[in-house]
């Protein structure tokens, strides 16, 4: 596990998650998005990049994105991805199965 990866036991720093996701998107698209910017309607993301985002979130934050979490709404903005990470980590911490 790299220093940037988080476990479900560590408290989530939402600002740090937003910053890290923003940096990833900027590295991949060569454009730094605003946290509320819709990545799909602005053309920064497409279905292929969405899969890269899933892999990035899973590897970086030790979460599993599956089933109902694979909705476009969870990946539209940096903030929505950070919220998804927070929710998945909270579920893992409480042992929730969803």
Cite the DSSP H helix spans in the chain: 14-29, 47-61, 78-94
pLDDT of residue 8: 40
Q: Spell out the per-residue pLDDT of the chain, length 98, in tens.
A: 444 444 445 567 999 999 999 999 999 999 999 999 999 999 999 999 999 999 999 999 999 999 999 999 999 999 999 999 999 999 988 876 54
Tell me the C-alpha distance between 93 and 98, whole Å.
12
Give residue 10's pLDDT.
Answer: 56
pLDDT of 7: 44
Picking from 26, 48, 47, 28, the residue whose alpha carbon sits closest to that of residue 37 is 26
Half-sphere exposure (CA, 13 Å, Cβ side) for 2?
7
């Amino acid at each position: 596990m790299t220093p940037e990866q988080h476990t479900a036991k560590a408290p989530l720093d939402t600002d740090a998650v937003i910053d890290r996701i923003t940096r990833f998107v900027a590295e991949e698209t060569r454009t730094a998005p605003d946290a509320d910017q819709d990545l799909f309607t602005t053309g920064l993301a497409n279905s292929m990049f969405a899969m890269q985002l899933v892999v990035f979130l899973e590897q970086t934050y030790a979460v599993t994105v599956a089933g109902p979490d694979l909705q476009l709404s969870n990946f539209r903005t940096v903030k929505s991805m950070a919220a998804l990470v927070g929710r998945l980590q909270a579920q893992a911490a409480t042992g929730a199965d969803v």
